Amino acid sequence: MTWVKTWMKVLDRHAFWVIWIAGTALRLAQILASRPHLGRDLSELELTARSVILHGTLGNPYLRETGPGAHVAPVAPLLLAALYAIFGMEGAGQIAQRFAGALAASAQYALLPAAAEALGLRRTVGIAAGLLGALIPYKGYIETVDTPWEQPYVALVCVLLFVHTARYWKSGGSAVMRGVYWGLAILLSPTFLPVFLVVLVYELAHEYVSQKRKGREGAAPSGTGTRRLVAPERVRFARVPQKRKEALLVTMLCSVLVLLPWIARNWVQLGGLVPVRTNFGLEFSLSNREGARPLMEDNVSRGEFTQFHPAHNEAEWRKLREQGELAYNHELRRAALLEVMRDPLRFLQVTGERVWRFWLWPSHRTGTMLATLLFTILGVAGVRKVPASDARTLLGLILLAYPLVYYVIQVDRRYRYPLEWIFLVGAAALVMEKLGRRVS
């Protein structure tokens, strides 16, 4: 069995490349074996990327041209536009955009050994999780689909941010680069913004509690006559160490500086403040109008998009063109809020269903959902057994903050994809523990 030990050593040493190459090769085979869907509707991401090539502007994501816009965040369409510039927008370009998604998805799995180590687990747990994700390709609706979405890139960045933040908390690092990373992540997907804010609040609260505890420990024992070194009741956020406060401020400032060019561009070209995207009003309206269902699949099949989305409906496209993208979304958001206030109980009911749908059953595709549900249940049980640490807390913060916006808009199975690596790691930890392997 010497060859087995040798192979295991090679796998352990070169896990990233083994997992990445295996996952990419398998997905490339899926892509080449599939047939393209001729005549399909192009996604807003594709239309925006094509606009960059054809018109030199980020915009035009609807039925016909409307000019510059911010319906989608800028990073993903710029990446896609780069592929179109190299390979063209048809034929090879279509293969290239699918292959890029497969590369990102596989890289996500290849980073799971590093994520497991950050959690205090054995590296073999992360290798097992990475191989599970790479070699069980049941997520073709995201990883190899011919309609590209940003979620494979978002998932990859989510793992990278987790590993980077866990290491930063443990060993420190550059506050400048940390802010740059978070800023770029937000420009890829604004769902990272609440995660970033929650992480910063947690760090401040953690420092506050630590300083308060030190203040109590610094108090002299009763009856000694010695003065208190620190009065616990006076410890406030101002007591957070100066270097720590400066690092947090630098991180926040650098993230804002990364966002600033995009914000300035939107202010000039769209006529208002748009931190990342404009489309929340449209999505909120589609999701909460009378008769809307919690699942996007149901709303699509019932013709909601054909009737009310400017990428599919002539009247809505004309209205958006006349009002402007920003005003159009503001009006839809206002009307949707009035509908919510008219029947708040229905909104709470639909929101509750969206929450459980997001986590347990975000699609009617039974086979895919059964696999997803199995990994979710095993993953939650496994994460609960991960040793308590700052890194495990960080996982909790991600799971808390990332999906918040998806609780108030229609649920689609691709929305939870960037979080599923967490359940893969948890499932691998649980299974390996059950098999008698040490996981910490």
**Tens-digit pLDDT profile for residues 56-86:** 999 999 999 999 999 999 999 999 999 999 9
Instruction: Enter the pTM of the model.
Output: 0.91
Domain containing 304: what range?
2-434
Contact between residue 300 and residue 41 where contact means Cβ atoms under 8 Å apart? no
Question: What pLDDT sits at residue 435?
Answer: 83
For the packed helices 242-270 and 192-217, what is the interaxial angle rounded to 10 degrees?
Answer: 160
Looking at residue 233, its pLDDT comes to 40
126 part of a folded domain: yes
The alpha-carbon radius of gyration of the chain (Å, integer) is 24
Q: Backbone phi, then psi, for 295, in 5-degree steps?
A: -95, 135
pLDDT of residue 385: 87
* Range from 4-18, 250-264, 311-325, 374-388 carrying the lowest mean pLDDT: 4-18
Say which DSSP state 439 is in: -
What pLDDT sits at residue 234? Answer: 40
Assigned domain for 160 exists: yes
Residue 439 domain flag? no
426 has pLDDT over 90 = yes
Residues 80-106: pLDDT tens digits?
Answer: 999 999 999 998 999 999 999 999 999
> Could you tell me if 200 and 180 are in contact, meaning their C-beta atoms sit under 8 angstroms apart?
no
In angstroms, the CA 308 to CA 359 distance is 27
Three-state DSSP class for residue 142: helix
Residue 346 falls within a domain, yes or no? yes
pLDDT value at 373 more than 70: yes
CA distance 80 to 40: 18
What is the rounded average pLDDT of the residues 196-202?
Answer: 96
In the chain, DSSP finds a helix count (H) and a strand count (E) of 21, 0
Which position has the higher pLDDT, 130 or 137? Answer: 130
Between 214 and 416, the more confident residue is 416
> What's the pLDDT score for residue 208?
73
- Cα separations (Å) of 16 from 11, 113, 179, 330? 9, 8, 26, 45
What pLDDT, on the 0 to 100 scale, is given for residue 9?
A: 72
Overall domain count for the chain = 1
Q: How much of the chain is helix, strand and coil, in % rounded to 5?
A: 70, 0, 25
pLDDT recorded at residue 240: 57
Which of 147, 125, 192 has its CA nearest to residue 31?
A: 147
The pLDDT value given to residue 328: 97
For residues 400-409, give the mean pLDDT: 97
**In whole angstroms, what is the distance from residue 208 CA to residue 39 CA?**
58
Name the DSSP letter for residue 132.
Answer: H
CA–CA separation, 368 vs 139, rounded Å? 7
pLDDT at residue 440, as a whole number: 45
The confidence score (pLDDT) of residue 215 equals 64
φ/ψ region of 324 (left if φ > 0, alpha if ψ in -120 to 50, else beta) reads left
Per-residue pLDDT, averaged over 365-387, amounts to: 92
Output the pLDDT for position 337.
96
Domain contains 440 = no
Residue with tokens 């009035």: 338
CB 395 within 8 A of CB 349: no
Q: What is the mean pLDDT of the chain?
A: 90
Confidence category of residue 209, pLDDT binned at 50, 70, 90:
confident
Q: Where is pLDDT greater, at 225 or 20? A: 20
Average pLDDT on 282-296 reads: 94
